[in-house]
Chain A
Amino acid sequence: MSENRSHDGYLNKYAYGLASPSVILPCGSTTTNDHFQRWSQKELCYYTHYGQQAFFNSFIFTPNRMANGVFLNAQYEGFSEHPTLNDWIAWSNELFLQNNNVHALEQLASNENNIEVWITLPYPSLYYKQTPNPLQQTYIHHPHKRAPLLKQWIKEFTQRFYQQFGNKNTLKLKGFVWPKEKLMSEEDIVLVKEVSEYIHSFHLHHMWLTQYGSANVIDWREHGFDVVVLHPNYYGNTPFDIDWITNNTIFSKHYQCGIQIPYGKGLLYDDHHIYQYLNLGLPDKCNYMNNAFIVFHFDGIHLHEVAKENPQLYTHMYTFVKGSYSKQPF
């Protein structure tokens, strides 16, 4: 049995010596909110600390909409003009902005609370391959340019990270997250493999956040991923009931995946979905709280808002992350 596999099959909470749970930090504006999210120390302290105690210590920076209105988040591919190489560079610059994002996290890291960082890669879209914009200087989606340009971005980001934080023991770059939840085209499958190898050459990891039921998940090792974390597709207000969480855990145990826990506001979500997730994670249920690699995904809400508006839930999340959560009625 692989040391990265929990006794019941999940991708182990301590796989590769990584910190878990990790939490996604969306950057930029969204489809529904023009506020341009740059993570400050003031906001991030609600993630890194619960009062004086250490809370989350693994973070995934993910781009949404950039300042020029272009979506870098592949989930919203097609919602705007497609990104150019300049947008990719802007994403890198955004991450290294003084006093924000990675720097803000670094200021919150300490010897007692080391922090791990993951970065979501930009996605070279295939969608516009038939209609390249002649005004673009570089066709990042060109079949022969996708891999070299993505590698170049990884290399430059990594060099920059090590230049700025290389001597810090408290903040570590752990790897990159594949930008697209779906791996459907042959072109992407080939690209992922090449990118995985390249990421590994830096002794970093490659993570894929996808959904239970999506194509090509069972072959994730062949694509070169190290960490695959599945979204169970349960939100509370859709036809998918909580069996989807349970079924996802069965699948994840079999294929050695981790579990995503979404907490959101909006049409899809009911008031109780987060407690369904937390309760089912307990050892006498699906047993992922202490066993599985977990990624928290906050959709349309920030943890500092939870701390202020629903302090009880904030406390319950903290206890879940620390493995001491007990079943809560709702």
Chain B
Amino acid sequence: MARIMILPVDIAGQSGLMSKYLNANHMFSIAYNTFPNYLQCTDHMIETDLYSLQKVFHRTFDSFDIYHYMNSCTIFSDQSDLRVLHEKGKKVVMNHRGSDIRSSQWAVHGKDYHNPYVITKNCKSHEQIVQNLEYFSKYVSAAVVTDYECYKYVKDYYERVYVIPQLIETHKHTPIYPQKDKKRPVVLHAPTHREFKGTDYIIQAVQALRPQMDFEFRLIENMTQQEAFRNYQEADIIIDQIRCGAYGNLGIEAMTLGKAVIAYIREDLVPLYPLELPIVSANPDQIKEKLKMLLLHPELRHEIGKKGRAFVEKYHDAKVVMKSLISMYEEI
């Protein structure tokens, strides 16, 4: 039985969920979060701090086989824990989540893409990212990324990179599909970082459309995940992130709830996603037009909502994703 420690931070409850499903799959796992935030995702996680993890680190070696790190964060500021674990013969996984690898240089231009919209102010500097990846690649058994946007940034640094999507417990969320006869649809946007998500463009589009169309707009910020979900349930159209080029956690949550989702999918990434990805792609130049299209067509909202739910059940459901994760642990 593999014993897996997931550490030292959590992003939107993902570490806790992974731990929960690993335990359900007859593995032994715990997840530590040293970065609590307003989302308050605490299920199946131990809230602690780095001081505590530092103190017990050298007492963990007999208790764990695999150390699954999240978001380029380590226990010690000099990242020496990765080297020590490597020397001890432990398996180390580095799970990149986006902001830790979305370099200003790589996110805008690549061999087969150009993204003038992306903002990387909330990300680490290019130099720091390169330094991290060069260091990690010496000691990490495998890297995990959530999608092919991230894959393109790290693929040259690791021998093994696994694309394992974000997971969600679909059975816990009953879809409420957009009603075809709804007179005043609800459009919702929930940024964790306004500039990165493209919130200003979304608000501009909403303001431009308001005189022409009747709809409600909700901007959700600084709410716990539970409170936010209550709002999502009432929405018809949910706008995720429109600058980065891939959909994020909000897009997955929105699809789970059966909503029509808008996010910008970078052109080079479209063929890398499953064909049935039902997200309406819109960048800042297209958001007004795509939002208008969805507002004008309630049947389309309903249809996209249904496809979205089917998509997450097939590709993001925790039970499905866990199979990939466990296979990865077995391979490394």
Chain A residues proximal to chain B, CB less than 8 Å: 30-32, 75-79, 127, 130-131, 181-182, 184-185, 211-215, 231, 233, 235, 238-240, 266-268
By a CB distance below 8 angstroms, the chain A residues around B80 are 238-239
- Is B43 in contact with A130, judged by CB distance below 8 angstroms? yes
Q: Check B131 for interface membership: any CB of A closer than 8 A.
A: no
Tell me the dominant secondary structure on chain A's binding face. Answer: loop
- List 6 tightest A-B contacts by C-beta distance, closest first: A78-B30, A267-B58, A211-B51, A31-B59, A184-B47, A239-B78
| B223 vs chain A, min Cβ distance (A) | 17
Bound-complex Cα distance A231 to B55 (A): 10
Q: Whole-angstrom distance between the alpha carbons of A111 and B32 in the complex?
A: 47
Determine the chain B residues whose CB is within 8 A of the CB of A239 once the complex forms: 76-78, 80
Q: B51 to A233, Cβ gap below 8 A? A: yes
B54 at interface, CB cutoff 8 A:
yes
Q: Report chain B residues within 8 Å CB of A32.
A: 59, 61-62
Chain A residues within an 8 Å CB radius of B44: 127, 130-131
* A182 contacts B63, C-beta separation under 8 Å: no
Q: Are the C-beta atoms of A182 and B76 separated by less than 8 Å?
A: no
Query: Complex Cα distance A76/B53, Å?
Result: 10
A185 touches B47 (CB 8 A): yes
* B interface: dominant SS: loop
Point out the residues of chain A lying under 8 angstroms from B84, CB to CB.
267
- Closest residue of chain A to B29 (Cβ to Cβ) is A78
Q: Is the CB of A75 within 8 A of B56?
A: yes
- Say if the beta carbon of B57 comes within 8 Å of chain A: yes
14 inter-chain pairs at a CB distance below 8 angstroms, sorted by A residue, are A31-B59, A31-B60, A78-B46, A127-B45, A127-B46, A130-B20, A131-B44, A184-B36, A211-B52, A235-B54, A238-B54, A238-B80, A239-B77, A267-B84
The reply to whether A181 and B52 contact each other, CB–CB distance below 8 Å, is yes
Check B54–A182 contact: CB distance below 8 A.
no
Q: Are B61 and A213 in contact (CB under 8 A)?
A: no
Q: Which interface class (under 10, 10 to 19, 20 to 34, 35 or more) fits B?
A: 20 to 34
Nearest CB in chain A: distance from B285 CB, A: 44
Determine the chain A residues whose CB is within 8 A of the CB of B99 once the complex forms.
none
Contacting residues, chain A, for B51 (C-beta < 8 A): 211-214, 231, 233
Beta-carbon contacts under 8 Å, B36-88 to A: 36, 42-49, 51-52, 54-63, 76-78, 80, 84
CB-based contact A77/B49 at 8 Å: no
Give me 15 other A-B pairs in contact (C-beta within 8 A), A182-B52, A212-B51, A231-B51 excluded: A75-B52, A75-B55, A77-B46, A78-B30, A78-B46, A127-B30, A130-B43, A181-B55, A182-B47, A184-B36, A184-B48, A214-B51, A233-B55, A239-B76, A268-B57
Specify which of B43, B46, B59, B78 lies most central, judged by the most chain A CB atoms within 10 Å of its CB.
B59
Is the pair B76, A215 in contact by a Cβ cutoff of 8 Å? no
A261 to B: closest C-beta gap in Å: 14
Neighbouring B residues of A182 by C-beta, 8 Å: 47-49, 52
Minimum C-beta distance from B208 to chain A (A): 43
Complex Cα–Cα for A127 and B61 (A): 21
| Complex alpha-carbon distance, A130 and B23, angstroms | 13
Shortest C-beta distance, B36 to chain A (Å), equals 7
B100 to chain A: closest CB distance in Å? 19
Chain A residues, CB < 8 A from B77: 239
**Within the complex, what minimum Cβ distance (angstroms) separates B82 from chain A?**
13
Are A238 and B76 closer than 8 Å at their CB atoms? Answer: yes
- The interface residues of chain B lying within 8 Å CB-to-CB of A75 are 52, 55-56
Q: Smallest CB–CB gap between A283 and chain B, Å?
A: 28
Shortest Cβ distance from residue B7 to the other chain A in the assembled complex, whole angstroms: 11
Chain B residues lying within 8 Å of A127, measured Cβ to Cβ, are 30, 44-46
Query: In the bound complex, do residue B42 and residue A185 qualify as a contact, i.e. CB atoms below 8 Å apart?
Result: yes
For the complex, what is the distance from the CA of A78 to the CA of B16, rounded to whole Å? 12
Residues B48 and A266 in contact, CB atoms below 8 Å apart: no
